[in-house]
Amino acid sequence: MSTTPPPRSAPPGVRPAPGERAAEDGAFGWLRALGPRGRRAFAGAFGGYALDSYDYFTLPLSMVALAAHFGLDSGQTGLFTTVTLVVSAVGGAVAGVVADRVGRVRALMITVVTYAVFTVACGFAPDYETLLVFRALQGLGFGGEWAVGAILVAEYASARHRGRTLGAVQSSWAVGWALAAIVYTLVFSFAGDDLAWRIMFWTGALPALLVVWLRRRVHDAPEAAAARERSPQRGSFAAIFRPGTADDPGLLRTTVFAGLLSTGVQGGYYTLATWVPTYLKTERGLSVVGTGGYLTFLISGAFLGYLTGGHLTDRLGRRRNIWLFALLSAVCVLAYANIPHGANTLLLVLGFPLGFCMSAIFSGFGSYLSELYPTAVRGTGQGFTYNTGRAVGAVFPTLVGFLADGWGVGGALVFGAIGYGLAALALLGLPETRGKELA
């Protein structure tokens, strides 16, 4: 039996006409299949996540300047990332509940405003402690944006195209990362380090412009909104922790293993995202412009990885895609961290597959987590598991920071490979969901 759903405009159970099916084929068939409202939702989620990424990367790119300005050691700088990600777990869980209770678009606007305001505030911080507090508060918005935006688009997307549609949304992370790298190169080339890191944070006001557009143009998927309104359990933490019985499988097992999956993938990812810029500058001796050049290869690989992983998660299935790229990511991390000194050309080239693999594994997350939970608690389940994984995975960058003093940053990066191993093991407790319809 085909799992391909009818177009949104067709009555339930009616198969699409051959011409309509053909319109969904091709490189951009997934985009046409969304329809006008779905495409606006896609644009809103894409823009929000890109700017979320931009605001996040202002810190790793400014890390060396911040450490010099405030006189910080590696452990203290690593703590910036850990605090951001730990607090983001709270923000993400709360945003998921809000999304189930008041709607996806309203929750998305709240998260965007929150991370924009506190990113700008970071630029005015007079000392390390204040900056740490502002960065933590920025994490409240940062934690919720991806989960809410991913659910918004997932509920518009057809089962046939959901993996590549959410993979395309995920690719906006690379767009925001690239924008941050470009601004970093320009700002640090023309301003002194003591001012440049502040300017980087001040540019975090950009997401506020997106909110104006979101308020006027984007709406929740009607079918999912109606299903959510009918359920008395919407936005319930108790529901996602309900143990199974003989008559009801419950969601506790799903929540535990989805949380472990998120922990492993994000532990590996944020280890690299946080420490690679510092590794390139301190251990490889690259200049600001040189670091930007090496990051170009890494980010280009990441962008293509998101798109490719999105297609593969529809073709191979959610679990196989994550298994494949967990293995490849671990191999790439080990290779990248052990390139001998003087082989900077190899370092440049290997940045592409590293970025590709560590991003392709994320492409299936938006569709997979959305499909694991029913509509009434989809925001709560996805927000909680994704961001709990982010919070626990946030321990990895701090451990690397403390280990770097003895092992060097390159040696400590190997620790990130452990995260990918944990992700592969967590899949043993989760079902395959490819082809599942979302009401």
* In the predicted structure, residue 381 carries a pLDDT above the cut 50: yes
pTM of the model: 0.78
Check residue 14 and report its DSSP letter.
P
Residue 289, pLDDT > 60, answer: no
Q: CA-CA distance, 243 to 257, in Å (whole number)?
A: 13
Model confidence at 11: pLDDT above 60: no
Cα–Cα distance for residue pair 398/75, rounded to 1 Å: 6
- Distance set, CA 108 to CA 55, 143, 152, 218 (Å): 16, 11, 9, 10
Tokens of 115: 């991370």
- What average pLDDT does range 244-262 have in this prediction? 87
Q: How confident is residue 319, by pLDDT bands cut at 50, 70 and 90? A: very high
Q: Contact 379/227 with Cβ under 8 angstroms?
A: no
pLDDT in the model for residue 15: 40
Average pLDDT over residues 380-389: 89
Q: Quote the CA–CA distance of 169 and 27 in Å, as a whole number.
A: 15
- Distance separating alpha carbons of residues 292 and 297, to the nearest angstrom: 9
Cα(318)–Cα(307) distance, rounded to whole angstroms? 14
pLDDT at 385 over 60: yes
* DSSP designation for 428: G
Identity of the residue numbered 128: Y
> 153, 42 in Cβ contact below 8 A?
yes
Residues 131-152 have pLDDT tens digits of: 999 988 988 887 788 888 889 9
Integer Cα distance of 207 and 112 in angstroms: 6
Region 96-123: mean pLDDT is 89
Confidence of residue 24 (pLDDT cuts 50, 70, 90): low
Q: What number is the average pLDDT over the span 167-189? A: 89
For the segment 406-421, what is each residue's pLDDT rounded down to a tens digit? 666 555 667 778 888 8
User: Any idea which residue has 């919407």 for tokens?
Assistant: 234
Confidence (pLDDT) at 39 = 92
User: Tokens at residue 370, please?
Assistant: 């959305």
Does the pLDDT at position 343 exceed 80?
no
Q: Which residues contact 191 (CB under 8 A, 6 or more apart)?
A: 199
Q: What share of the chain is helix, strand, coil (3-state, %, to 5)?
A: 80, 0, 20
Report the alpha-carbon distance of residue 283 to residue 326 in Å, rounded: 26
